[in-house]
Amino acid sequence: MKHKLFTPGPTPLPEEVRLIQARGIIHHRSKEFSDVFKEIREELRYVFQTKEEVLLFSSSGTGAMEAVVANLFSPGDKVLVIRGGKFGERWAEIAAAFSLKVFSIDLEWGHVVNPELIEKNLREDSGIKAVFTQLVETSTGVVYDIETIARVTKGKGVILIVDAVSGLGAEALCTDKWGVDVVVAGSQKALMIPPGLAFVALSGKAWKLTNNSNLPRYYWDFKKAKKAQDKNQTVYTPAITLVCALGESLRLLKKEGWDNVLSRHAKLAKATRQGVMALGLQIFSETPSNVLTAVEIPLSVGVKRLRGLMRDRYGVEVAGGQAALAEKIIRIAHLGAMEATDIIVVLSALEMSLSELGYPVEMGKGIAAAEEILGR
Ligand SMILES: *Cc1c(COP(=O)(O)O)cnc(C)c1O
């Protein structure tokens, strides 16, 4: 059976990306590697929409999140975290682990943050040094309005830190233009390569904070990383194979055109939403993202049974909910190397599985609604 991933990381790999990883390994101090890395550095600046260097680390996305805290802050620093799901909570946990003083705006999961609330918090405590949030809160499927949030933080003594691990490459993010200070991303989502690389982009304002931070760090030193990258090198042995895979995936995405990549994600997301709604199911997210669609599943069907059937019978893997949402939603990712027919596949598996589990489905109704969007 073909195994088809519709999870918000890892995402499927294009054939070109799979094949390049089968080649023999090259040395990371060779000219060959530097040439690949040079091209990647340039392209990443474009993808992150920044003129600043984009740092590359060999780790999962969370490693880069932790590195941001370790490089920019000192114990006791006050920070404000938007906690609207699992990943918002992660920022708060990391900040607390490094002894920062964490304030949070707690949202009901599935909802967006009101930027005015951020403004109010900053007005009431001028000592807050940073606002931490997500572009897409992957646990709830919600996309936050980063442009408006950045208007609140811009020009103040506070930096805006955005975890765009799932969002980058699927949602618009104009880092420099909007005034976002830190962007974190990962390899196994829209960038279409396996897990194992993480990225951090920092504004000039954020770089200045690295001078005052006194938290311990060694491997995760941003200044050391920047110095090496300026010479098309990494400080330590990088995940060479993944770097080569990244070179290939960036070439593919560039060839498609980044605007087309974003509009493809938007179209697939819309088709998925129309498809599930045509089946009488509800979308969980207040502002559904182009990364994934979070769908409420009736208790009578059961998330566990539904996911199990979709996987075992049809080879289709969707994600369940996290934490309190475990038995409430499924999350269908349309992220990375995805195209129109993939959406038909996942909706078809959903229809057949729902029907088998006793949920009243008019077969083909979800697919037809998606085709209305996809065929345009
Ligand atoms: C996937 C993801 C991460 C990083 O997770 P890792 O498993 O550490 O790669 C962080 N934030 C968001 C929003 C994500 O979707």
CATH number, domain containing residue 331: 3.90.1150.10
Q: What is the pLDDT of residue 127?
A: 97
Q: Supply the CATH number for residue 87's domain.
A: 3.40.640.10
Containing domain of residue 247, as a range? 15-256
Give the residue, by CA position, lying nearest to ligand 1 atom 4.
Answer: 61
297-316 pLDDT per residue, tens:
999 999 999 999 999 999 99
- Closest atom of ligand 1 relative to the 188 alpha carbon: 9
Beta bridge partners of 80: 103, 131
Instruction: Choose the final residue of a domain: 204, 230, 256.
Output: 256
Instruction: Identify the residue whose tokens are 């599935």.
Output: 110
**Phi/psi at 356 (5° precision):** -65, -30
Ligand 1 pocket: which residues have CB below 6 Å?
A: 8-9, 60-62, 87, 134, 138, 163, 165-166, 186, 195
250 and 180 inside one domain: yes
Domain boundary pick from 202, 235, 256? 256
φ, ψ for residue 205, nearest 5 deg: -60, -40
Where a domain ends, among 208, 229, 256? Answer: 256
Residue 7: inside a domain, yes or no? no
pLDDT at 105 over 90: yes
Ligand 1 center from residue 368 Cα (angstroms): 33
Tens-digit pLDDT profile for residues 121-133:
999 999 999 999 9
Please check whether residue 51 lies inside any domain of the structure: yes
| Shared domain check, 163 and 47 | yes
> Which protein residue's CA is at the shortest distance from atom 11 of ligand 1?
165
Tell me what pLDDT residue 376 has: 84
**Alpha carbon separation from 306 to 141, 322, 328 (Å, rounded):** 19, 16, 11
Helix (H, G, I), strand (E, B) or coil at 296: strand
- pLDDT, tens digit, 9 for 90 and up, residues 60-99: 999 999 999 999 999 999 999 999 999 999 999 999 999 9
Query: How far is 191 from 67, CA to CA, in rounded Å?
Result: 21
Task: Specify the DSSP element, H or E, that contains 228.
Answer: helix 222-229
Residue in 291, 269, 60, 95 with CA at minimum distance from that of residue 185: 60
Q: Does 186 lie in the same domain as 98?
A: yes
Separation of CA 11 and ligand 1 centre (Å): 12
In a domain, 290, yes or no: yes
How far apart, in whole angstroms, are the C-alpha atoms of residue 267 and residue 292? 12
Q: Is residue 150 part of a domain?
A: yes
Instruction: Using the structure block, give the residue that is written with the tokens 């990371």.
Output: 28
- Tell me how many domains the chain contains: 2
When computed from its CA atoms, the radius of gyration of the chain, rounded to whole angstroms, is 21
Q: How far apart are CA 168 and CA 232, in angstroms?
A: 23
316-320, strands of its sheet edge to edge: 4-6, 316-320, 329-333, 292-296
Counting atoms of ligand 1 from 1, which one is nearest the CA of 135?
Answer: 13
Centre of ligand 1 to C-alpha 351, Å, is 29
Does residue 172 lie in a domain region?
yes
Q: How many CB atoms lie within 10 A of CB 31?
A: 10
Choice from 91, 138, 182 to test ligand 1 binding pocket (greatest atom count within 8 A of CB): 138
Nearest CA to ligand 1 atom 15: 166
Cα 173 to averaged position of ligand 1 atoms, centre (Å): 17
Q: Both 76 and 205 in a single domain?
A: yes
45 C-alpha to ligand 1 centroid (Å): 21
**What single letter denotes the amino acid at residue 196?**
G
Q: Are residues 55 and 134 in the same domain?
A: yes
Is residue 277 one of the residues assigned to a domain? yes
Measured in Å, residue 201 CA sits from the centre of ligand 1 at 16
Same domain, 52 and 160: yes
pTM: 0.98
Instruction: Find all residues with CB under 8 Å of 306, minimum gap 6, and list them.
Output: 297, 330, 350, 353, 354, 357
CA–centroid distance, residue 138 to ligand 1 (Å): 8
Within a domain: 1: no
Tens-place pLDDT, residues 152-190: 999 899 999 999 999 999 999 999 999 999 999 999 999
Q: CA-to-CA distance for 239 and 140, rounded, in angstroms?
A: 31
pLDDT value, residue 146? 98
Q: Does residue 309 share a domain with residue 235?
A: no
Contact 364, 372 (CB under 8 A): no
Q: Which structure tokens are listed for 349?
A: 């598996």
Residue to probe by mutation, ligand 1, list 87, 142, 291, most atoms within 8 Å of CB:
87
Task: Assess whether 300 and 322 both reside in one domain.
Answer: yes
Is the residue at 240 inside a domain?
A: yes
Same domain, 366 and 284: yes
Strand partners, 132: 81, 161
Atom of ligand 1 nearest to the CA of 63: 8
Clarify whether residues 232 and 348 are in a common domain: no
244 Cα: distance to centroid of ligand 1 (angstroms): 22
Same domain for 349 and 332, yes or no, is yes
Residue nearest to atom 5 of ligand 1 (CA): 61
Instruction: Based on the fold, state whether residues 31 and 52 are members of the same structural domain.
Output: yes
